[in-house]
């Protein structure tokens, strides 16, 4: 009689939970952007591979200081205004990390799942960093002490002058971290509320009301911009889209005498309004 004592997700599902939870946790916790705090995330419904996002326009309001008769003796009415009807379409891309585990054993599944989760978060953060190259680029012209900090203040002023009145966030490149921290000193900023591990460990502080974070992915290679220093932006500058979050698929692979382990996410990001964000660079 054949041995019927097989192990699978039907009777050993407890062994599968750590893999999935560790993968999702690693991806979510090690990404600055997946939580949706810095760059808002739109959930794309199942059955669609893209989403439409409205670019926030503006209209001018009017005021009436006194009542007067309008046409045909009717009271004066407000003029109707319609905001600009501009949109961006975000088409999802499938991001995945795959590994095959042999049945011979000896591999810590938790470690493998962390590696795959980290791969997902790294790819997402790389894509968002690359998209930041489409923000308004500002060349650093200040020289001497606190040059980067002075340009930082100038960028905030430029974004405000362009009409952005909402909260801002800033991401500092790892290469510029030392210069930035030297400029602001050790106690010239306030703490900030953060959401996940990446944001907690990457938090520098709040400067001029702008929460600042450091990222290894904001660099010349990912942005394609020489001398990338920092990005300051509002929540209407960039928009990300996901579908169903991070997923884990485990499937038997007989030819490999093991199982296929795939972590994936459907994701993409786009620039909504380049005037609501500035990429600081120093090409000199």
When the pLDDT of each residue in the chain is averaged and rounded to a whole number, the result is 81
Res 1: pLDDT = 40
Cβ neighbours for 208, distance < 8 A, ≥ 6 positions apart: 152, 153, 156
Res 71: pLDDT = 57
Res 199: pLDDT = 57
Average pLDDT rounded to a whole number, residues 227-252 = 89
The pTM of the full predicted model, rounded to 2 decimals, is: 0.78
Domains defined for the chain, CATH in brackets: 13-54+81-128+241-269 (3.30.2400), 135-238+271-281 (3.30.2320.10)
pLDDT digits (tens, 9 = 90+) for 56-87: 777 778 777 766 655 565 666 777 888 777 88
With vertex at residue 96, the alpha carbon angle to CA 90 and CA 98, rounded to the nearest 5 degrees, is 175
Distance (Å, whole) CA 45 – CA 31: 22
């Amino acid at each position: 009689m054949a041995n019927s004592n097989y192990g699978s997700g039907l009777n050993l599902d407890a062994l599968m939970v750590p893999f999935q939870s560790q993968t999702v946790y690693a991806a979510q916790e090690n990404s600055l952007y997946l939580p949706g705090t810095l760059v808002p995330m739109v959930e794309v419904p199942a059955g669609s591979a893209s989403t439409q996002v409205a670019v926030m326009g503006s209209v001018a309001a009017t005021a009436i200081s006194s009542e007067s008769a309008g046409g045909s003796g009717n009271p004066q009415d407000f003029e109707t205004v319609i905001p600009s009807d501009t949109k961006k379409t975000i088409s999802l891309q499938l991001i995945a990390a795959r590994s095959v585990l042999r049945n011979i054993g000896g591999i810590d599944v938790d470690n493998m799942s962390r590696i795959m989760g980290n791969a997902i978060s790294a790819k997402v953060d790389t894509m968002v960093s690359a998209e930041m190259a489409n923000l308004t680029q500002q060349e650093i012209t200040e020289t001497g002490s606190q040059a980067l900090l002075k340009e930082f203040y100038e960028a905030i002023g430029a974004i405000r002058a362009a009409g952005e009145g909402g909260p801002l966030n800033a991401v500092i490149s790892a290469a510029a971290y030392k210069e930035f921290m030297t400029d602001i000193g050790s106690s010239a900023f306030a703490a900030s509320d953060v959401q996940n591990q990446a944001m907690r460990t990457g938090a520098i502080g709040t400067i001029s009301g702008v929460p600042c974070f450091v990222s290894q992915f904001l660099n010349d290679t990912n942005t394609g911009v020489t001398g990338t220093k920092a990005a300051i932006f509002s929540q209407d500058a960039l928009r990300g889209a996901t579908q169903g979050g991070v997923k884990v698929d485990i499937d038997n692979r007989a030819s490999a005498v093991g199982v296929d382990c795939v972590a994936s996410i459907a994701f993409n990001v786009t620039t909504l309004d380049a005037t609501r964000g500035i990429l600081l660079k120093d090409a000199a």
